């Protein structure tokens, strides 16, 4: 488990991470999302002892990273796949890391096979392609067979087969009861991989919830009826937010009166309300938003490096 309590990092007058309090639990894949400059990499660096917090704590299995006797056996991390000596061979790079943590040499060959690099084990790390370098970084994270794994943009440079392999790997690691904490900008991949999402913006926590909850919170139901005005009034009275469109079309979502624990908007609830009132329906369909849409809504006010819209 990774535990953060009031984790804060300031660089001069700039606050990169602002009071994060989180528990990254074992047995699931936790996605870590946020715009560029949101503080994701800085947060991960503090967990790994690479940056010292200005305030608060970051613990791995209840202890600071610096106090771990054999850190690679407890936490494996991929933050920068290029952080290798370019003149060393692939195998020599992993072997040096293994020896520094009392890991047997046979484990090097095991992870090389696991990530598909056994055929290039004697090649210099500096000659690897982007995708192969990424696999080497993943091998380094897996080297100590740790219970906690942290990946920053792990599919960067991987081909489609590699992306699928990495997705399955992370899911299998979580299924074994390990903690998997992964940062990515690929919303579609996170939607397929993560069980839970942590979203930050300008260093502050914006969301910490199961992925289904984050996506479902923006569900809309489209309704068409010849008596749309009457139906809209009944739906509004029931606590829904209703937006009228052309041809008797209504878009229905959770209203401000739908507090915590409320059942939320659903086609079933709307259909029952219409049936009870004897109002005919021409269409009743659910419009679920994607993770990308949910993410954009969450982080819209937190984008630090925005760009102007292109003009025709």
| CATH of 219-287 among 3.40.50.2000, 1.10.1510.10, 3.10.20.600, 3.30.70.980 | 3.30.70.980
pLDDT (tens digit per residue) in 182-233: 999 888 899 999 999 999 999 999 999 998 888 876 678 999 999 999 999 9
pLDDT surpassing 50 at residue 248: yes
pLDDT at 111: 96
% pLDDT > 90, the chain: 71
pLDDT (tens digit per residue) in 282-292: 999 988 777 88
Fold of the domain built from segment(s) 2-209: Rossmann fold (3.40.50)
Compute how many other C-beta atoms are within 10 angstroms of the C-beta atom of residue 23: 12
% pLDDT > 70, the chain: 92
Q: Once rounded to an integer, what is the mean pLDDT over residues 294-310?
A: 66
Q: What does the alpha-carbon distance between residue 259 and residue 252 come to, in Å, rounded to a whole number? A: 16
pLDDT at 298: 79
DSSP summary character for residue 67: G
Partnered with residue 286 across adjacent β-strands are 221
- Pairing relationship of beta strands 14-24 and 28-33 according to DSSP bridges: unpaired
pLDDT at 145: 95
| Residue among 77, 134, 148, 73 at smallest CA distance from 107 | 73
pLDDT (tens digit per residue) in 122-137: 999 999 999 999 999 9
pLDDT at 312: 44
| Residue among 77, 87, 73 at smallest CA distance from 41 | 77
pLDDT surpassing 90 at residue 28: yes
Of 22-26, 66-70, 178-182, give the lowest mean pLDDT range.
66-70
pTM for the predicted model, two decimal places: 0.80
* Sequence ranges of the domains in the chain: 2-209, 219-287
pLDDT band at 50 (very low <50, low <70, confident <90, very high): very high
pLDDT at 303: 64
Q: What does the alpha-carbon distance between residue 168 and residue 193 come to, in Å, rounded to a whole number? A: 8
């Amino acid at each position: 488990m990774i535990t953060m309590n009031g984790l804060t990092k300031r660089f001069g007058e700039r606050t990169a991470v602002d009071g994060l309090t989180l528990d990254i639990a074992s047995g699931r894949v936790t996605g870590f999302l946020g715009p560029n400059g949101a503080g994701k990499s800085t947060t991960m660096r503090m967990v790994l002892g690479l940056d010292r917090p200005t305030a608060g704590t970051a613990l791995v299995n209840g202890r600071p990273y610096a106090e771990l006797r054999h850190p690679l056996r407890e936490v494996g991390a991929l933050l920068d796949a290029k952080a290798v000596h370019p003149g060393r061979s692939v195998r020599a790079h992993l072997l040096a890391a293994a020896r520094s943590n009392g890991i047997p040499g046979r484990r090097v060959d095991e992870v090389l096979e696991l990530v598909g690099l056994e055929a290039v084990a004697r090649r210099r790390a500096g000659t690897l392609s982007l995708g192969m370098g990424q696999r080497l970084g993943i091998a380094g994270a897996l080297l100590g067979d740790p219970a906690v794994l942290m990946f920053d943009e792990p599919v960067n440079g991987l081909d489609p087969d590699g992306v699928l392999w990495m997705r399955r790997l992370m899911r299998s690691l979580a299924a074994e009861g390990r903690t998997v904490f992964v940062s990515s900008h690929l919303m579609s991949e996170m939607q397929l991989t993560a069980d839970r999402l942590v979203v930050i913006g300008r260093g502050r926590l914006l969301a910490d919830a199961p992925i289904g909850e984050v996506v479902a919170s923006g569900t809309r139901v489209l309704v068409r009826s010849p008596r749309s005005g009457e139906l809209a009034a009944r739906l509004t009275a029931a606590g829904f937010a209703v937006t009228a469109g052309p041809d008797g079309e209504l878009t229905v979502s959770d209203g401000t009166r739908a507090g915590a624990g409320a059942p939320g908007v659903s086609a079933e609830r709307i259909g029952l309300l219409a049936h009870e009132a004897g109002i005919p329906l021409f269409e009743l369909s659910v419009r679920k938003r994607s993770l990308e849409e949910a993410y954009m809504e969450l982080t819209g006010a937190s984008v630090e490096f925005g760009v102007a819209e292109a003009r025709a």
